Amino acid sequence: MTPRQKRLWTLVAVLVGLGLTTAVALKGFESNLQYFYDPSEVHGGKAPTGKSIRVGGMVAKGSVVREPGNLQVQFVITDFAESVTVKYTGLLPDLFREGQGIIAHGQLQDGVFMADEVLAKHDEKYTPPEVAKSLKKRHEGMGGSANAPASATTMEGTPR
Amino acid sequence: MIPEIGTLALLIALALTALQAFFGLAGAHREDAVWMRTTSAVTAGVFAFVLAAFFILVYSFITHDYTVEYVAHNSNNELPLIYRIAAVWGAHEGSLLLWVLILTTWSLLVSRLSKGLPDSFRARVLGTLGLVGFGFLAFTMFTSSPFTRLFPTPADGADLNPILQDPALAAHPPMLYMGYVGTSVAFAFAVAAMLSGRMDAAWSRWTRPWTVAAWMCLTLGITLGSWWAYYELGWGGWWFWDPVENASFMPWLASTALIHSLAVTEKRGLFRNWTLLLAIFAFSLSLLGTFLVRSGVLVSVHSFAADPSRGLFVLGLLLFFIVGSLTLYAIRAPSLQTDGGFAPVSRESFLLLNNALLVAAAGLILLGTLWPLIMDSFNLGKISVGPPYFNTVFLIPMLPLVALVGVGMHATWKRASYATKGRTLGMFAIGGLAVGGLIAFAFYGSYGVPLTIIGFGGGFFLMASALWEPLVRLWRRQPQARAAVGMAVAHFGIGMFVIGVSGVASYKIEKDVSMGPGDTATIAGYTFHFNSTNDARGPNYQAREAHVSITKGDAPVADLTTQKRQFKIQSNPMTHAGIAVAWNRDLFVALGDDLGAGKWSMRLQYKPLVRYIWLGGVFMAFGGLIAILDRRYRRGVVEPVTVEG
């Protein structure tokens, strides 16, 4: 091969490689990007039904309901403007508790979020960033901190 | 007073790294023997002062010196001694100090153990490492000093994050950093090669053991981290494609590609430019990992924007080293022309494919890791790229790689013929698939998915192919190079890893149940008996404890204890899982919440072959160790180099 041909083949090989890699990336992205919605967006009908998404917010005080001895649990997450009911069966993460910011993976069905996974990060001070941002936005929208729950103020300082 | 000495030691070290960089780079440029000798002495000095600072921080932890903010935030009167020491690298400031200490350790090792290097070359390597050290020491001093005082002094500390109070975590960060930071040595060698215009087989022979050593530490560090996450986070996963994990895995992929590309550069003098580029990539990905983990950008792009000083500093370092080295590359690489060719079927082409696949995998993981950050910065929506993406984009390049490794190991340089070996390799492949199918069917009762058989088959094929040549040589009492044995052992480890992953992915069983004392639940033929529950107490926590015994048929298998721990200072609860280990499976039980009515939520898991994932990692690292001990790396004399072939 002349150097010129060699360069040409190298170029072709690199382009084919990049093309294949891009194809793999697009294939991977196809169904595996999960969008995040906060309770207000869910209420506003912005979140798709029957599609795998994430929703997040604070677990509302006094909202955790379960039959004694049953793995099924139901709770409400809120961004202090709107709220969404979440149903889940299984073990909740260590840091799950009322007043804690969480993210749930799952699907929206008839206005109820059927979660297949509930996440709370392993650090007390940590609030999932999407949740912190959404809470801050809604909180400001409500016009100041006068009637905001005390816990919302700590959310703004997070995380560190 | 003592902490101020620590600050002073860091300041002196900072000044000395500036001298190290100056004398190293300028001395080599002027070919000034005195300056170059000074570089080595200064390197030792840097190490001494950083080590002193490190020990001072350890001392502050041991003596509960809460006047030091970092100690007050990460220690506690009741924290056991071993964790007070591990707490030194438990958070940002201390782990940076560890980063710097490891960098200076590598620098010292390079200056002491490379007597065979030409003086000017060693000076350039040390000078480059000095630049890296200066950047990170400045970062530590000006944005993250571990010796900052706290006033008023608290009576007791805020305690180390409970999930970090664990033996594996005492070892995981130092090992991981050895690997992470070790890529800087390969980088420094690459920069020195570009500055001096010298890049021959001898260069590769100098660079290889250092690169393999760093790769080995990285392999062990990642393996330890995976093992720790498996049992300590309490949920039985061994890899989560978490950005922090990816941050360590991308440099691993790049340095794996690098050690293979270096082989070609050493033996055939080919791929020189590519090798240089890979050395730059591997180090850049390490820096990127440091940036991702240390800047807070992962928590949120916006929290990063709110307090950008640390992030911007690392970003600045990242840009400086990437732009600087790539500029140098653009100027110098064309002069390092490659000569010689190779046939389409040859060891060279197999290694080229290996590199293409590894780099593609690293690129795809990089894309998935950065994509949410990019989307978020442009306000295009808050997305997450989940494990399915990473599994897909990792599997597609890696599956063919497993087959390629098994075949390619036996290829000769320049032109390979499989006339004699093809038959045996074919038998290995068929045999591997048959054994894989048999195991799937006989032990797990189903063929699972087609990928299971391919995984098992590929794993067995690779293990057989790796051991073939060393065993034949052993049988015939032929001598063999340690490098070849090391390669075989490492590839054998990949085979084990693949089998472990296939087993867990295909046949694991996870079940959340509601159980009370006296209840039983059965998964995979194992019956879990919830015997009793009681309160328990540790040095700095209280716990609810459950006792579970496992039987198979009538035979007892194991008695396990699982705890839900409540730490006194940091009030977050933590699950401590009970795990029964055997050669062919783990049984895993984790206590959940009190569900009322005398029931508890409980997660039961059956993890077949999971141990081979980590054992495979250990074999890979061990293979690296054997390869480093190869005789040819210890030949001190620099001989005129002729490229073979």
In this structure, are A23 and A56 located in the same domain?
no
Give the model's pLDDT for residue A23: 86
Query: How far is the first Cα of chain B from the last one, in angstroms, to the nearest whole number?
Result: 64
B 80-99 residues inside an 8 A Cβ radius of A: none
Q: Which of B383, B390, B575 to mutate to test the interface with A (most CBs of A within 10 A)?
A: B383
Q: Which chain A residues are closer than 8 Å to B388 by Cβ? A: 28, 31-32
* Cα–Cα distance for residue pair A47/A29, rounded to 1 Å: 19
pLDDT of B104 reads 97
Going by C-alpha positions, the residue among B274, B115, B247 that lies closest to residue B190 is B274
Instruction: Clarify whether residues A46 and A114 are in a common domain.
Output: yes
Which pLDDT value is given to residue B644? 40
Place B40 in a pLDDT band, splitting at 50, 70 and 90.
Answer: very high
Helix (H) or strand (E) holding B411: none
Please check whether residue B319 touches A, CB under 8 A.
no
Measured CA to CA, the distance from residue A50 to residue A60 in angstroms comes to 24
When the pLDDT of each residue in chain A is averaged and rounded to a whole number, the result is 76
Check whether residue A65 and residue A107 sit in a common domain. Answer: yes
Closest residue in A to B599 (Cα–Cα): A69
Residues 6+ apart with CB under 8 A from B278: B254, B257, B258, B261, B355, B359
* B344 vs B49, higher pLDDT: B49
List, in sequence order, the alpha helices (H) in B233-346: 243-268, 272-294, 301-306, 309-332
Asked if A126 and A73 sit in the same domain, the reply is yes
pTM value > 0.80? yes
| Integer-rounded Cα radius of gyration of chain A | 22
Cβ A95–B572 below 8 Å, yes or no? yes
3-state secondary structure of B63: coil
Q: What are phi and psi of A37, to 5 degrees?
A: -130, 145
Residues B106, B181: contact at Cβ < 8 Å?
A: yes
Residues of A whose CB is below 8 A from B603: 90-91
Cβ separation A129–B389 shorter than 8 A:
no
Q: How confident is the model at residue B492 (pLDDT cuts 50, 70, 90)?
A: very high
A49 & A103 share domain: yes
Q: Residue A94 is part of a domain; what is its CATH number?
A: 2.40.50.140
- Break chain B into its structural domains and give their ranges: 1-165, 210-409, 418-507+611-618, 509-608
Total domain count, chain A: 2
State whether residue A146 is helix, strand or coil: coil
CA distance B240 to B325: 33
Q: How confident is the model at residue B339 (pLDDT cuts 50, 70, 90)?
A: low
pLDDT in tens, A55-103: 888 899 899 998 888 889 999 999 888 999 999 998 888 878 888 888 8
The verdict on A13 and A46 lying in the same domain is no
The verdict on B570 touching A (C-beta cutoff 8 Å) is yes
- A135 and A67, same domain (yes or no): yes
Whether the CB of B590 is below 8 Å from some CB of chain A: the reply is yes
* High-pLDDT (> 70) share of chain A, %: 74
For residue A119, give its domain range.
Answer: 37-157
CB pair distance less than 8 Å for B390 and A28: yes
A71 contact B CB<8A:
yes
Residue B96 confidence class, pLDDT cut points 50, 70, 90: very high
Question: Of B113 and B198, which is predicted with more confidence?
Answer: B113
- Asked if the Cβ–Cβ distance from B601 to A90 is below 8 Å, we say yes
In order of B111, B154, B167, B434, the CA distances from B438 in angstroms are 54, 63, 38, 6
Task: Give the ipTM of the model, two decimals please.
Answer: 0.76
pLDDT at B427: 93
**Are B186 and B258 in contact, with CB atoms under 8 Å apart?**
yes
Residues A57 and A128 in one domain: yes
Tokens 């058989």 belong to residue: B453
